[in-house]
Chain A
Amino acid sequence: MSGYNSDGFMDEDYDDDAFEYSEEEEEFGHNAIIGNSAGASQLNNESQTETQPGVSADGPFYENDLLDDTGDFEPVLGSIKKKKAWEVDYMIYDPEELRAKQVNIAARMEPLLGISKEATRLLLRHYFWKEENLIEDYLSDSERTLAKAGLTAYPPPPELKSGDENFSCAICYTDGADESYLALTCGHRFCSDCYRTYVTGKVLEGDSWRIHCPAPKCKVLLGITASRLLLAQDNTVMERYEENLTRSFVNDLDTFAWCPAPNCEYAIECHVPRTAWATTIPVVECKCGNSFCFGCKFDNHLPAPCYMVSRWLQKCKDDSETSNWIKVNTKECVKCKSTIEKNGGCNHMTCRDCHYEFCWICMGPWSEHGQQFYNCNRFNEDSSKEARESISKTRQSLERYIHYFTRYNNHEQSAKLARKLLATTEKNMEQMQRELALSWIEVQFLRDAVDVLSVCRSTLKWTYVLAYYMVADNQKIIFEDNQSDLEMATEQLNGLVEDPIGQDTVDDIKRKIMDKSTYVKTRWETLLRDITTGLQENRWQFETL
């Protein structure tokens, strides 16, 4: 078995430096069991079944844990932080590890099926790697299963032959004994040049194992060995072929997905079933740093579940900018419902149509405002309330949407600004280093604070989506309290970070920011934990989506 830990460090290398080694583990985090290294290609079935987490001398990583389909694989590294409530188990694979994984599964199935390696590999792919279905079908009718997939149990190793005078290629019509040709179990013979061109064309179209004999209506699969034999001379096409094989492996399995980040070539394995996505958000973080939802492949949308996110995004797209603009910039006259845009002046409005006088802020009648012309503090007065309640229902729902959308949008924008903030922060850090003769490590607290900020912004953003669909009840009030706690703390931290060098001494600032960061982080964890358990307990009612 592979003796690599997830960071790619070999045990032996770190034997005499155990402390640093364990620190490494702490660093990269708890549940991200990053795929084992290529060593797994030399698979050893016996040792797999015997190893148990934490007891074997084989190393910290066990293949059978990986292959266990149950999904709740045990964390396999010694000093692992406890998994947070909202975190899910997943593994990251690089292309090499993906290749090894395919080899492993095939090698495990081979003795079970008792057919050749080649046939096993193709049969597995034909069954989209659903081992149970394959075994079931195979045991009930092996011949039919193979035939349906276009396979034979023991295909003779493919080889290019020549020396048959009667040979004539049905594609290019070249004939004669000199011509080298290939024939699969179906007996259709084609010259090697034509075969090569045919396979190359298919590979460049993205095909791999599904390539079959070129004869009309012949379904016999060419197979991986034969493809490699034909493409041996052309490295680029060969690489593409291998790539297609891996691609189809990841695409065919529900439990695997590519990291959607541009140019990222890692794949993620995650066993949170589709049915659980309504209450569990399978957020994973790729080695490339991209954090995304395994379920919908969208950006990390903790703590809103996938179905809500897609609904919300659809809604944001549907509600045209025009209606948004009307909502944001206009109000309806309480009396005659005509739409009014306020383009200047004070809060004392007189409707041009019905001459009703009202306050722009509270929508209550102006007569009750007395002399406070520019300042309305009557929002909760009964008459104002009545006036607002009379606003038409559709408008109210739109207003509700805008309420949440503005906040959602605000956090999205702020998250974008956070990137800018990072640049300013770095400048600030340099400045602090220079002016106050601090060491680099001493000013890192600023960067940490910005990191915390952007994580919280993202979470806050999606809590508004959750809140939008949440039916108002006492539980929602608790939820909103938690939300506003985090929001307030986040804004405060934001303020501190944006202008760190003020009147206070550096030590004060540093202490303040660090205190606030820790506080924000705690609030963030509390909120997420609460939402996760709440979703699982069905604590909230959601509008039927």
Chain B
Amino acid sequence: MLATVLASVALWAVVAAACMMVSSVSVGWPATREIFQLRREVVLLSSLVGAALAAAGVTYQAILRNPLADPYLLGISSGAALFAYLWRLPAFAAVAGALALSGQAASQQAFAFLGAIVAVACVLVLSSRNGRLEPVTLLLVGVIVNALNGSIFLLVYSLVGTLPSSGGALTLLVGGIQTSLTIEQKLVATIIIAVGWIALLAISGQLNAAALQDAEAEALGVRIQRLRWLALIIASLVTASAVAISGPIGFIGLICPHLARLLVGVDQRKLLPVATALGAALLASADAASRRLAGQGLAQTLLPVGVLTSLLGGPFFLLLLFQSRRRIDLSEGRSS
């Protein structure tokens, strides 16, 4: 396992170094210390967010037994984003204050986590029938929850107008790497994601049993219901932390687990580190690409990176959907 983790870190480091060389106008290692620090910040931030979303995606796919699960498609990201946005409203800030949540960043994180949990609870309750989750219904409900969250967001946005700290409010709708974060915000997110990731890695071996029938998993010594809940909460916490600083960036949690599966197979103990590294590398690359596009004049402004990942992820999702439909057709004995 250590070897897989080290190889994954090395993979990310190579891509991150390459991303450090991409600026809006030229390609090359940063000339001055200031530019180096600026770029290092966006590369590290995008890597952190990408890593968190990919790790959450791997986990959701395992516990929901659904290869199409992703924090974004399940509506969890948008729930977290909505609450992270609502946190900026004076009324909610007062609530956060009353709850004696110490520190601005920590209270925003708590709000985002609450949003993620509300969204995931809605999705799970609405899509389960007799205690079973129907994969396609799960995604449909996720799409609806997403749309609803987006609408509430825009409604509040138009009603309130400018919020006290309005910098990049729309980032929380589309998803992008923000450069106006406080040190505290970055630190809290990093700590939560790191601790959550280590916890996910600790249970990754047992998560392999989540693909089996519950009785089989139990007979392998895994308390499967407890494990599912634990993993669901940790993955939602990790998602919320990333979303609180970046908004709901889509499809990273869908694409990276699948790419990782092609590389190392289905063992969660390898899948989690590799998918995490791919997520970090992919989002850092997408961010570098959006910088470059803006610099080349191809885009009028700096594109939020969420736009690029969705452009990439949308077709990928359709491909997976058609593949899984074919598999279902085949397993039901129909030719396709």
Asked if chains A and B come from one complex, the reply is: no
